[in-house]
Chain A
Amino acid sequence: AQTVTQSQPEMSVQEAETVTLSCTYDTSESDYYLFWYKQPPSRQMILVIRQEAYKQQNATENRFSVNFQKAAKSFSLKISDSQLGDAAMYFCAFMDSNYQLIWGAGTKLIIKP
């Protein structure tokens, strides 16, 4: 069975600094998708970034980028120039061949002003 592990329950970063959230996953599949979702206190789940496993190039969305290491089954999220509005729970999710999302436990990101 596929699993997703986020080993950092909580991370804090100074405003304007860079932070990296880690995620590892376990699967025997070769073709899949990976996502990072953000959940602010409002509880709305918001897509941050998406990565196709067949693409070697790391996905980037403005201040958000990933470091996708397929062989290591690692999918970390880097947030540059952290802003107060980035404070939220961040979830790493794996999409399996049945197109179900399998979720990590989440990392709470705190931004220090």
Chain B
Amino acid sequence: EPEVTQTPSHQVTQMGQEVILRCVPISNHLYFYWYRQILGQKVEFLVSFYNNEISEKSEIFDDQFSVERPDGSNFTLKIRSTKLEDSAMYFCASTQSDGYEQYFGPGTRLTVT
């Protein structure tokens, strides 16, 4: 069964460093998303991406964040200068069409020290 994959599973970085989180969505999916879940808190929407551009973004998704689909398979989230409060689980999701269920990857745990 097709699945969304994410790498790495755990990333530890120092405050101020840049990180890139990678996702490979399901191959025939067209819509891509990033969410984050700070430990013990709600899952929060970050950004949606369709047709090689951002569709929607939340207030969390400020200038420190960017997304890219560099080739036909990868979907990346970049945090330019990490802060302690960026420590969270980051989930990538994809779906065939708006309104359909979003399939989630296993997440990347980001720890900023």
Contacts and interface: CB of A to CB of B under 8 A. Distances in A.
User: Is B one of A's binding partners?
Assistant: yes
Interface of B: 31, 33, 35, 41-45, 48, 55-56, 58, 89, 91, 93, 98-99, 101-107, 109
Main secondary structure of the interface of A (DSSP, over half): strand
B89 A33 contact: no
Contacts, number: 54
Nearest to B46: A100
A50 B44 CA distance: 19
Contact of A103 (B44, B98, B107): B44
Rank and list the top 4 A-B pairs by shortest CB-CB distance, nearest first: A45-B104, A103-B43, A99-B98, A100-B45
Q: Kindly name the residue among B56, B99, B103 whose own CB sees the greatest number of chain A CB atoms within 10 A.
A: B99
A28 interface: no
A105 B99 contact: no
Contact of B99 (A33, A37, A93): A33
A105 B106 contact: no
Nearest to A49: B101
B42 A99 contact: no
A99 B31 contact: yes
A95 B42 contact: no
Main secondary structure of the interface of B (DSSP, over half): strand
Given A47-B104, A101-B45, 16 more contacts: A33-B99, A35-B101, A43-B89, A43-B106, A44-B107, A45-B93, A46-B104, A47-B101, A91-B43, A99-B55, A99-B56, A100-B33, A100-B48, A101-B33, A104-B42, A106-B42
A78 B44 CA distance: 25
B71 to A, nearest CB: 24
Contacts of B55: 98-99
Contacts of B99: 33, 52, 95, 99
Nearest to B57: A100
Contacts of B105: 44
A65 to B, nearest CB: 17
